[in-house]
Structure 1
Amino acid sequence: MAGGKKAFVFEDHSQERRCYVKEEGEIGMELKWHTPHDQPFHVAGFAWFEQDRIYRRLPQNPSHALPEAVDYLANNTAGGQIRFQTDSSKLSIKVKLDGKADMNHMPATGQCGYDCYIGMPGEQTFYSTAKYDHSKEEYEVDLFERYDGGLRNITLYFPLYRGVKEILIGLDQGAALVSPPPYDSNKRIVIYGTSITQGGCASRSGMAYPNILSRKINWEFINLGFSGSGKGEAEVARVIGEIPDPALFVLDYEANCVSPELFATTLPEFIRIYRSMHPEVPILVLSQIRFGQELLERAQLDMRLTRRKIQIDTVREFREQGDNHLFFYDGESLLGSDFAECTVDGVHPTDLGFWRMADHLEPVLRTYL
Structure 2
Amino acid sequence: MKNLMVFVMLILSVTCMGTTTSLEDMKYLNADAFQLIGKGFEDTPTRYSRLPASLEGVTRPPVWSLSQNCSGLAIRFKTNSTAIAARWEVTGDVFMNHFTMTGIKGMDLYCLKDGQWQFVNSARPTGKETTAMIIQNMAGEMNEYMLYLPLYDGLKKLEIGVEPTALIEQAQVDSPRKGKPVVFYGTSITQGGCASRAGMSYPNILSRIMDKEIINLGFSGNGQLDLEVAEAMATIDASCFVIDCLPNVSVAQMNEKYARFIEIVREKNPETPILLVETILFPHRHFDQSVFTLLQDKNETLTRIYKEQKAKGDRKIYYQKADDLIGDDQEATVDGVHLTDLGFKRMAENLYPVIRKLIK
Question: Normalising to structure 1: TM-score of the pair?
Answer: 0.87
CA separation in 2, counterparts of 1:94 and 1:155?
Answer: 16
What displacement does 1:305 show?
1.6
**Deviation string, structure 1 residues 41-72 (Cα, Å, up to 9, x no partner):** 21011222476552011112338811111000
CA separation in 2, counterparts of 1:277 and 1:121?
Answer: 38
Aligned position for 2:309 = 318
CA separation in 1, counterparts of 2:284 and 2:22?
Answer: 56
CA separation in 1, counterparts of 2:225 and 2:160?
Answer: 37
**Deviation string, structure 1 residues 297-355 (Cα, Å, up to 9, x no partner):** 233222212211221121112112211001111123111111x2110000001111111
Give yes or no for the alignment of 1:344 onto 2:334: yes
What displacement does 1:118 show?
1.4
Aligned position for 1:206 = 199
Give yes or no for the alignment of 1:115 onto 2:108: yes
Aligned position for 2:98 = 105
- Higher mean alpha-carbon deviation, 225-234 vs 167-176, is at 167-176
AA at the equivalent of 1:236: V
Classify 1:141/1:317 alpha carbon distance in 2 versus 1 (closer, same or farther; 3 Å). Answer: same
Aligned residues: 338
Aligned position for 1:254 = 246
AA at the equivalent of 1:353: G
Aligned position for 1:278 = 269
Give yes or no for the alignment of 1:299 onto 2:256: no
| Counterpart contact for 2:144–2:171, Cα < 8 Å | no
AA at the equivalent of 2:246: E
What displacement does 1:121 show?
8.0
**Deviation string, structure 1 residues 172-199 (Cα, Å, up to 9, x no partner):** 2342324241144521110000000001
The RMSD of aligned alpha carbons is 2.0
**Deviation string, structure 1 residues 256-292 (Cα, Å, up to 9, x no partner):** 01x2122122110100111112111110001111112
SS in 2 for 1:92: strand
When you count helix as a share of all residues, which structure comes out higher?
Answer: 2
Select the residue among 224, 235, 259 that pairs with 2:228. 235
Aligned position for 1:327 = 318
AA at the equivalent of 1:250: V
Give yes or no for the alignment of 1:364 onto 2:354: yes
| Counterpart contact for 2:21–2:83, Cα < 8 Å | no
What displacement does 1:364 show?
0.8
Give yes or no for the alignment of 1:150 onto 2:138: no
AA at the equivalent of 2:229: V
CA separation in 2, counterparts of 1:121 and 1:209?
Answer: 22
Aligned position for 2:258 = 267
CA separation in 2, counterparts of 1:116 and 1:122?
Answer: 16
CA separation in 1, counterparts of 2:23 and 2:133?
Answer: 15
CA separation in 2, counterparts of 1:334 and 1:28?
Answer: 42
Give yes or no for the alignment of 1:164 onto 2:155: yes
Classify 1:26/1:76 alpha carbon distance in 2 versus 1 (closer, same or farther; 3 Å). Answer: closer
**Deviation string, structure 1 residues 113-146 (Cα, Å, up to 9, x no partner):** 001111248511111112232xx21000011112
Alignment of 1:41-52 (within 5 A): 41-49=34-42, 52=45
